[in-house]
Amino acid sequence: MVYESPQPLAADLRSVDDRDEPSRTDTLTAQLCDLIGGPVGDHAVIGRVRFWTPMRVMMAFAVLFLAFSWFGKAGCIQQRPDADGTLGLDWNNGRQYIAMCYSDTVPLYGAEHLNEGAFPYKKEWVEFGGDGKPQVRYMEYPVLSGLYQYASMGIAKAWKMSALPGHSALEVVIYFNVVALGLSLAWLATIWATALVAGRRIWDAALMALSPLVLVHAFTNFDALATAFAAGGLLAWARRKPVLAGVLLGLGGAAKLYPLLLLGPILILCLRAERLDEDESVWGGIRPLRAAGGAIAAAAVTWLAVNAPIAALYPKGWWEFFRLNTERHADPDSIYNVITSFTGWTGFDGLLTPQQTPSILNTVSLLLFLGACAGIAWIGLSAARRPRLAQLVFLVVAAFLLTNKVWSPQYSLWLVPLAVLALPQRRILLAWMTIDALVWVPRMFYYLGTDHKGLPEQWFTGTVLLRDLAVLGLCALVIRQIYRPAEDPVRRDGIDDPGGGILDHAPDPQQPWLPAVLRPRYPAAVTYPMP
């Protein structure tokens, strides 16, 4: 029997058979897909849609969620006349807390004296601390974040002076919208790079576009700039371009320091993969340690190139970020403040005045982080199978946040792209993101104050503790999958490490030149290396 097609056959009859199909492999997605027709069919042709590709679908969802995030902050850029008729922001009666629309970008426009058109790091002003003593202040952000604020201010002032739509709005309102547009583009770039790193599991990045944390914190501060550089650095490493990866991570470190932490796991995994008895041809022209060294050197040179001019011209202004973080006390979101809140503990340093440096807390926080990094390095070197890069990166950044004395709420955005790569379990990640996002509610009402019908501190610190436990749970699951790679969804069907770059499918031998305590522990029933 001969069948005739009612339409001409497509020129390309191939299907992307190796792409992960969440509607068939993930129970949460399968249930949600019932709303739009159910899971993809057994004989569906995958990967030939001309317009609504997975990337474009994710970008559309991301734009929608970013719009919702903007509306969530819009309550704090509402305008009203004062008693004398002067137009100003409507922040009366704690509106920024009751409406939960607070964003650092709005008050910083005046607090950092950007409204004066001053160049960051050059402009200085005097503030009086809680003890009444004067303190000379400068821009408190790393260089790229400060320059981004300065550029946004310039656009806002130019818009205000023009005849463009919206020019009659308050300058700070225009500034917020300019900042939000740039941060939106940065988050879209983060999703794009992460989706490409995910490889056949491209849909894992969809949870970034639909994350509750994006709804709450996309525009709380400037952290999306750093996530874009960090994700770009991981993509460059996955594409076997270590120098470009270092450049991007160096730029990220000039916006927020955390992207530089990604270099540690790269070094550890390359140290494990290095084989002294092989030439460079085995690795396609570059040895693992040389690739890691190139990335680290490029990151250092890039960071110095960005910071050196500001440090040379305005050394006090450049140093303000480091001075402030050294003298800063335990943040309300830190585990140290949680302990204080429930026990009345006065901290490692006892009672301090606002301008006294918590030296012991700084030391303890640093030692705890270094200890966690040492443990993560041991896991990376000694696990029977080499961990994926995203797994170690997630553990390092999570350890930094858990042990640090500061965990500003928007810092949780750092973990989102790393989590979807390290632990692509949608139900688990969605539960953590929801808990983390909901910390914002008691935080705002705690800041409102109990005298204004706000919440007691323990309501806030209790949710912080739940968030910390959730992140610890994610770390435990990642470590479990490192030691049980058969349970890792990414490594099914012969996949090794899509983000590993030159380490993907590389030999993973025992290293006789490493100390015995650092050598991989192979199960007796398993023969390595594995693909």
> If we measure between CA atoms, which residue out of 156, 207, 146, 148 comes closest to residue 183?
148
Measure the CA–CA gap between 466 and 166, rounded to whole angstroms: 42
Tokens of 114: 């950007």
pTM for the whole structure = 0.91
Contact 237, 229 (CB under 8 A): no
Measure the CA–CA gap between 325 and 431, rounded to whole angstroms: 31
Measure the CA–CA gap between 96 and 456, rounded to whole angstroms: 18
Measure the CA–CA gap between 254 and 230, rounded to whole angstroms: 11
Measure the CA–CA gap between 419 and 411, rounded to whole angstroms: 13
Tokens of 183: 């941060």
Tokens of 172: 């700070």
Tokens of 300: 């250092």
Query: Token match 């607090």: residue?
Result: 111
Q: What is the pLDDT of residue 529?
A: 46
Contact 245, 233 (CB under 8 A): yes
Q: Where are the alpha helices (DSSP H) in 199-262?
A: 206-209, 212-217, 223-238, 242-255
Contact 111, 149 (CB under 8 A): no
Contact 256, 224 (CB under 8 A): no
The mean pLDDT values, 10 residues at a time, for the chain of 531 residues are: 62 59 65 64 64 88 96 91 80 89 93 91 84 83 96 94 83 95 97 93 91 95 96 96 96 96 96 69 69 96 97 95 91 93 88 85 95 95 92 97 95 97 93 96 92 89 96 97 92 86 81 72 52 43
Contact 78, 90 (CB under 8 A): yes
Measure the CA–CA gap between 341 and 237, rounded to whole angstroms: 42
Measure the CA–CA gap between 423 and 348, rounded to whole angstroms: 35
Q: What is the pLDDT of residue 531?
A: 43
Grouping H, G, I as helix, E, B as strand and the rest as coil, residue 89 is strand
Q: What is the pLDDT of residue 18?
A: 65
Measure the CA–CA gap between 46 and 128, rounded to whole angstroms: 63
Q: What is the pLDDT of residue 41?
A: 62
Query: Token match 């050197």: residue?
Result: 297
* CB burial string 114-148: b at 16+ within 10 A, e below: beeebbbbebeeeeeeeeeeeeebbbbbbbbbbbb
Contact 405, 336 (CB under 8 A): yes
Side-chain half-sphere exposure of 2, counting CA atoms within 13 A: 1
Instruction: Output the furthest CA–CA distance in the chain (Å, rounded).
Output: 94
Measure the CA–CA gap between 380 and 391, rounded to whole angstroms: 9
For 368, counting Cβ atoms within 10 Å of its Cβ (0-12 exposed, 13-18 middle, 19+ buried), the class is: middle
Residue 65 identity (one-letter amino acid): F
Q: Are strands 134-137 and 125-128 parallel, antiparallel or unpaired?
A: antiparallel
Tokens of 271: 């140290």
| Beta carbons within 8 Å of 338's beta carbon, 6+ residues apart | 461, 464, 465, 468
Domain ranges of the chain: 49-275+283-502
The secondary structure element, H or E, covering residue 80 is strand 79-81
Q: What is the pLDDT of residue 530?
A: 46
Contact 140, 365 (CB under 8 A): no
Measure the CA–CA gap between 266 and 389, rounded to whole angstroms: 7
Please provide residue 449's backbone torsions phi and psi, each rounded to the nearest 5 degrees.
Answer: 95, 140
- CA distance to 294, 386, 478, 522, per residue, from 484 (Å): 31, 11, 10, 12
Measure the CA–CA gap between 506 and 288, rounded to whole angstroms: 10
